[in-house]
Amino acid sequence: MNSQLIEQLRLRLGANGLPYEIPMHPKLVHLTLGLFIIAILFDIAGAIFPIERPIFKFLGLTAIRSSFFDVGWYNLLGAAVVTFFTVGFGFFELLLANPPVNQKSDWGLNASWTMLLHGLGGVVLLGAIVAMTVWRGWQRYHSRQVQWSYLLVGMAMLGLLYVHGTLGGQLGGEFGIHVTAAKLIQEGINPNWLPK
Amino acid sequence: MLALMLNSKGLPYSDPIHPIIVHFVIAMVFFSFFCDVVGYFSRNVRFLEVSFWNMLVAAIAIFVAIIVGQLEAGLAQVYPAVQPTLNFHTVMGWSLGAFVAGMTAWRFVIRNRHPQKLPPAYLGVATVLVCLVFLQVYLGSKLFWVYGLHVKPVVEAMQPGISP
């Protein structure tokens, strides 16, 4: 964002461009992705339960199909709640981003396109996760079955999340956005002077 | 020779994998604890089951995370300021591997013997685990977001011949 606009916010920004040491968005992303991915995987495991039953028997692990669907449902619900915070912090940190403008990512995109796609994608994915939670909740309380169409959409979502997550990873890993050492190097300061 | 195979982030593959695997440790340990607390106070067995399966996923994922983490730590541009944090993160990682495996085994026994109940002692130790995972997430975040390990501009600046 425009540096004069940022100044008007009167935030005490550190060397990483944020008012705190560690970006919050990537931390919350762990929760969104972990909960969402495991929710879909457990629903799939519930759907094909007869196939894996002998494996659990062999492992001596008591497994009930309905508890797999419970994991699918509650993990998804958790993901939906957490993702509001993930996207909220994401936008805050995106607005404070100050990436190099003369660089391209592994995917051939510059920083502005990567930020734009990752920001818009975040809103779309939040909407999709909430919609899937409503859909999943409806299935849970009306038919007690998880539909194959839901699982297929879930698998497609995993693909979208992979693309989206890689774009986000490139913002930190390639453009060095909110990476303290990258900022110091840019200013010609040795990152070895960072506190241990 | 090996250096030739590494990309601009100092890795033999496009992006660090360790931070992706840890999704399934961080999210699952925290959510397992959350479900335990809800299950304990609401006496709803369903939450205890959800907690158990999440913990089992965490126990499997943490060993993958440690192995990939060791590989990526070995390939990292470790300059002197980073070393103490990386060492602390490594020791914590292996310790947490043992801790999570132990908790999952304990949980497995509890579930087999008294599936309806969760002993308060388990909840107490799980609280300690959650705090340690918090600390570990902080240390790991510091390695990437503060010191810039496997971050392209930092890796490039650390190439031999270029200061610092």
Residue A1's pLDDT band, with cuts at 50, 70 and 90, is low
| Pick from A22, A26, A68: CB nearest B138 | A22
State whether residue A104 is helix, strand or coil: strand
Q: Reply yes or no on whether the pLDDT at A69 is more than 60.
A: yes
Average pLDDT over residues B123-134: 98
Q: Which two tokens stand for residue A182?
A: 């990258």
Which candidate in A28, A37, A38, A166 is best for mutational testing of the B interface (most B CBs within 10 A)?
A: A38
Among chain B residues, the shortest Cα distance to A167 is held by B15
Across the range A91-103, mean pLDDT stands at 92
Residue A65 has pLDDT above 80, yes or no: yes
pLDDT of res. A171: 96
Residues in chain A: 196
A77-80 LR contacts (CB < 8 Å, sep 24+):
A77/A133, A77/A137, A78/A31, A78/A35, A78/B31, A78/B34, A79/A31, A79/A32, A79/A35, A79/A36, A79/A39, A79/A129, A79/A133, A80/A129, A80/A130, A80/A132, A80/A133
Nearest CA in chain A to B153: A182
Q: Which residues pair with A110 in a beta bridge?
A: A104
**Residue B164, pLDDT above cutoff 60:** no
Q: List all residues of chain A from 51 to 110 with a beta carbon under 8 Å from chain B.
A: 61-62, 64, 67-68, 70-71, 74-75, 78, 100, 106
Among the partner residues A22, A173, A192, nearest to B142 by beta-carbon distance: A22
Averaged pLDDT, B46-59: 97
Question: Partners of A127 in the beta sheet?
Answer: none
Split at pLDDT 50, 70, 90, the class of B73 is very high
Does residue A98 have a pLDDT over 80?
yes
pLDDT of A4 > 90? The answer is no
Q: Write down the pLDDT at residue A9.
A: 79
Asked if residue B2 has pLDDT above 70, the reply is no
- The pLDDT confidence band at residue A52, using thresholds 50, 70 and 90, is very high
pLDDT of residue B4: 59
- pLDDT of B132 reads 98
| Residue A8: predicted pLDDT | 79
Out of B14, B31, B154, the one facing A191 most closely (by C-beta) is: B154
Whether the CB of A186 is below 8 Å from some CB of chain B: the reply is yes
Q: Which residue has the higher pLDDT, A145 or A97?
A: A97
How many Cα atoms within 13 Å fall on the side-chain side of residue A150? 26
Q: Using an 8 Å Cβ cutoff, are A174 and A105 in contact?
A: yes
Question: Is the pLDDT at A14 greater than 90, yes or no?
Answer: no
As a whole number of angstroms, the distance between CA A35 and CA A82 comes to 9
Has residue B74 got a pLDDT over 80?
yes
pLDDT band at B162 (very low <50, low <70, confident <90, very high): low
Residues from chain A that touch B36, judged by Cβ atoms under 8 A, are none
